[in-house]
């Protein structure tokens, strides 16, 4: 009896070893409930954060994400200092300072060794009007192109220098140099009535200059991006493609940012994939920078589209270094009533989360 049991145990052990060596079992061992770990062989998984969330959501953020985009804390109106600019700017040198929210966000990234996506320098919105006026006065005349060029260069220079000075161990691996420079559905640059940049310049030279200055002052390893929404609409896709190729010829751009604010009824997964492929064809990097999907009261459809987007990203992972969700969970989303994220209120796991993890085999 003892010898027979010993033989059976030996055979079971051999079967177990065979099972251990199978891919299925290894996949099981490697499976993770962390988004960043599940996709680690493909790309970074990022999120936007606001400073308030750093008081209660840090464990969740550290578990799931290895890239952070400050939601508002590096936008021009958050870091440009009007009083200091008037006192010390000599009409050409806008002064930059970091408020408490920006400081806490950058400090969190530095202390936890989470790479940062900067967002953004040139934008028609959330940019103070005084930046474009004589002596940085709220009611001054608008300045010339030459003055604005000096201001733009110094704004970019001062921002990068302040980050390096105050957060020397922080990795800034990407920056949205220009954001939403084209009209909503495509068809050209935003007109002067919508953009003070166009009011001053009248053409795309402000975009070229911004990237030229960013290339000059960006820290080593920081990739420079043009970022926009509705990027899957054919006219907008072409606008972004043409501008990116123009900047590529000047060697001042590294990538295209696809904001990817989607809905379950528009765009289709196919048209979104076509836009990705168009941008990948430039030879530049592509990042999905602000992904969220309006659920339109259909959680299953939302999960399905999330899965398709992640499938497309994985297919082109050799050119996509990061995919960023625009928010950590529904209750902090900028469109929280549309329940757009894979995590619901209080970080609950939604169908979209499980669909995404299926893509990673987790």
In a domain, residue 23? The reply is: no
Going by the DSSP 8-state scheme, the letter that residue 287 receives in this structure is E
Of 53, 71, 73, 290, catalytic: 290
One of 180, 231, 285, 308 is an active-site residue; which one? 180
Q: How far apart are CA 179 and CA 119, in angstroms?
A: 8
Q: Provide the 3-class DSSP secondary structure of residue 335.
A: coil
pLDDT in tens, the chain (362 residues): 545 555 554 544 454 445 434 444 333 334 579 999 999 999 999 999 999 999 999 999 999 999 999 999 999 999 999 999 999 999 999 999 999 999 999 999 999 999 999 999 999 999 999 999 999 999 999 999 999 999 999 999 999 999 999 999 999 999 999 999 999 999 999 999 999 999 999 999 999 999 999 999 999 999 999 999 999 999 999 999 999 999 999 999 999 999 999 999 999 999 999 999 999 999 999 999 999 999 999 999 999 999 999 999 999 999 999 999 999 999 999 999 999 999 999 899 999 999 999 999 86
Tally of structural domains, the chain: 1
What CA–CA distance (Å, rounded) separates 98 from 361? Answer: 41
Q: Which of 80, 119, 68 is nearest to 226 (CA)?
A: 119
pLDDT tens profile 339-353: 999 999 989 999 999
- For residue 10, is it within any domain? no
Domain assignment present for 22 = no
| pLDDT at 16 (0 to 100) | 44
319 found inside a domain: yes
Structural domain that includes position 220: 29-360
Q: How far apart are CA 61 and CA 345, in angstroms?
A: 15
Question: Three-state SS for 20?
Answer: helix
**What is the model's pTM?**
0.91
What is the maximum alpha-carbon separation in the chain? 100
For residue 180, indicate whether it is catalytic. Answer: yes
Evaluate whether residue 20 is within a structural domain.
Answer: no
Q: Is residue 9 part of a domain?
A: no
- 2: in domain: no
What CATH number corresponds to the domain at position 121?
Answer: 3.20.20.80
Residues 6+ apart with CB under 8 A from 310: 323, 356, 359, 360
E strand or H helix at 278, and its extent? helix 269-280
Is residue 1 one of the residues assigned to a domain?
no
């Amino acid at each position: 009896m003892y010898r027979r049991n010993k033989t059976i145990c030996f055979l079971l052990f051999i079967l177990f070893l065979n099972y251990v060596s199978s891919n299925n079992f290894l996949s099981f061992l490697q499976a993770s409930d962390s988004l960043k770990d599940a996709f680690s062989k493909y790309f970074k998984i990022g999120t936007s954060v606001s400073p308030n969330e750093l008081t209660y959501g840090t464990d969740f953020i550290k578990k799931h994400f290895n890239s952070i985009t400050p939601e508002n804390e590096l936008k021009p109106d958050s870091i440009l200092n009007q009083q200091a600019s008037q006192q010390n700017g000599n009409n050409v040198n806008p002064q930059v300072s970091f408020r408490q929210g920006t400081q806490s966000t950058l400090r969190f990234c530095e202390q936890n060794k989470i790479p940062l996506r900067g967002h953004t320098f040139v934008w028609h919105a959330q940019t103070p009007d005084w930046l474009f006026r004589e002596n940085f006065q709220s009611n001054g005349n608008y300045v010339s192109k030459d003055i604005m060029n000096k201001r733009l260069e110094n704004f970019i220079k001062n921002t990068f220098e302040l980050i390096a000075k105050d957060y020397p161990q922080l990795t800034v691996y990407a920056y949205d140099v220009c954001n939403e420079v084209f009209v909503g559905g495509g068809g050209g640059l935003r007109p002067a009535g919508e953009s003070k940049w166009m009011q001053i310049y009248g053409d795309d030279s402000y975009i070229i200059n911004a990237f030229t200055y960013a290339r000059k002052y960006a820290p080593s390893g920081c990739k420079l991006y043009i970022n926009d929404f509705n990027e899957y609409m054919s006219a907008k896709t072409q606008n972004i493609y043409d501008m990116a190729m123009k900047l590529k010829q000047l060697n001042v751009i590294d990538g295209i940012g696809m904001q990817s604010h989607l809905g379950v009824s528009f765009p289709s997964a196919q048209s979104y994939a076509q836009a990705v492929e168009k941008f990948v064809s430039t030879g530049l990097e592509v990042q999905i920078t602000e992904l969220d999907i309006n659920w339109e009261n259909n959680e299953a459809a939302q999960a399905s589209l999330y899965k398709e987007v992640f499938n497309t990203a994985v297919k082109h992972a050799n050119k996509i270094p990061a995919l960023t969700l625009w928010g950590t969970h529904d209750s902090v989303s900028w469109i929280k009533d549309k329940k757009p994220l894979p995590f619901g209120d209080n970080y609950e796991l939604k169908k979209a989360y499980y669909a995404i993890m299926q893509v990673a085999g987790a």
